Amino acid sequence: MWFGTAVCLLLIATPAAFSASPNSTVAANVVGVMLTRWHYLSIAAPLVLLLLHRPATRDLRPALFLAAIVLASTQAIVDMRIRAVRNSSVIPISALAATDPVRRRFGLMHGFSALLLLAETAAAAVAVANQRETSAVEGT
């Protein structure tokens, strides 16, 4: 579920919101609502996996789960700041000049948020792959 929702958000939901919305502000609002829900899942899933995990020797999964929680928490904070910048702007961010400090700050935060989402997706993919390896070794 953790990995699947990340991929769906990246490859299906976000592009669909931007292609179907009348403007980028509406699309950003739709994606913002999806991201809010994603933050809950992206924090809860690795937390539950961490709590349910039975560590074996040399098992790096607890570190992976903790890193994923930190990534997800950081992304949630950055996304709240992005929303604050968008809400404080009198005009849409896309209408600001490329050199405008507000647009530049928004762009940097948006890029950082996207990188965090990709890192979370990679962590989820590693967790899925590791689970398959563990299951194959244990014969389940």
| Tokens standing for residue 99 | 């050199």
136 compared with 10, residue with greater pLDDT: 10
pLDDT of 38-69, one tens digit each? 999 999 999 999 888 877 767 788 889 999 99
Place of tokens 């913002």: 32
pLDDT of residue 2: 92
Place of tokens 């690795």: 46
Establish how many alpha carbons lie within 13 A of residue 82's alpha carbon, considering only the half-sphere containing its beta carbon. Answer: 23
The pTM for the full model equals 0.85
Count the residues in the chain. Answer: 140
pLDDT of residue 43: 95
pLDDT of 30 above 60: yes
**H-helix segments, the chain:** 2-8, 14-20, 24-52, 61-88, 101-138
Tell me, rounded to whole angstroms, the distance of Cα 124 from its chain centroid.
Answer: 11
Q: What integer is the mean pLDDT of 99-119?
A: 96
5 compared with 133, residue with greater pLDDT: 5
Q: What integer is the mean pLDDT of 109-123?
A: 96
pLDDT of residue 124: 93
| Tokens standing for residue 27 | 């699309």
pLDDT of residue 136: 52
pLDDT of residue 98: 94
pLDDT over 90 for what percent of the chain? 76
| Tokens standing for residue 6 | 């990340």
Q: Average per-residue pLDDT in the chain?
A: 90
Stretch among 12-21, 112-121, 129-138 having the lowest mean pLDDT = 129-138
